[in-house]
Amino acid sequence: MEMQQSGDPRDTLAAVGRSRGWILTFGILSIILGIMVMAWPGATVKVVAFLLGIELFIAGVYSLVRAFTPGGEGERVLLAVLGVLGILVGILVLRHLFQTVALLVLLLGLYWTIHGIFEFFVGLFDRGTPGRWWVVLSGLLSFIVGVILLSWPAPTLLVVVWVVGLFLVIYGLMAIVAAFVTRSAGKGGGMPAMAS
């Protein structure tokens, strides 16, 4: 079955990113995920760490297999090293689930802090962004949650999971509101944070 080419893939992705359906779906899924995380915090911690360990192990096997495909000698050596490293790290993660999650909390906090700063300034200075004040507000919220995760000394993992779940619910609600705000403005909706 042949796929029809509809032009530049970047234009297609941009059109999807601007669609109200995309932002509504994102908001609803964020709320559902947030509720699930808060309903089963202990299970969430173990599942996240377990899935990360499995993913790293599979990625390692994949890189190791690729090392035996035709290519440059340097590339094959690098793939082999990455493959072995991925397998070893995956096994370590699976053996020490809670330590893995503690590290993930720090990385998540760092990501949300940087993401929040970026989103805040995009909404503040990009006057063409639909619903830009929602972008500013969500960026501020993301920054605050990121700073909490980074600065909270030795938080319990269950509290962190609750913070993450609550953030996802609030962020999902804000995304849904932003979709309706941009629709009423007649701009077609979309994910303001993804505007370039």
The per-residue pLDDT for range 98-154, each reduced to its tens digit, is 777 777 777 777 888 888 888 888 777 767 656 677 778 888 988 988 888 788 755
In a domain, 118, yes or no: yes
Domain extent for 142: 22-194
Alpha-carbon distances, residue 162 vs 78, 85, 182 (angstroms)? 40, 32, 30
Residues 6+ apart with CB under 8 A from 166: 34, 38
In a domain, 49, yes or no: yes
In a domain, 107, yes or no: yes
In a domain, 7, yes or no: no
In a domain, 3, yes or no: no
In a domain, 181, yes or no: yes
What total of structural domains would you count in the chain? 1
pTM above 0.85, yes or no: no
In a domain, 17, yes or no: no
Please tell me which residue, 21 or 58, carries the higher pLDDT value: 58
In a domain, 16, yes or no: no
Q: Please, what is the average pLDDT of the chain?
A: 76
Backbone angles phi, psi at 88, to 5 degrees: -65, -45
Residue type, 66: R
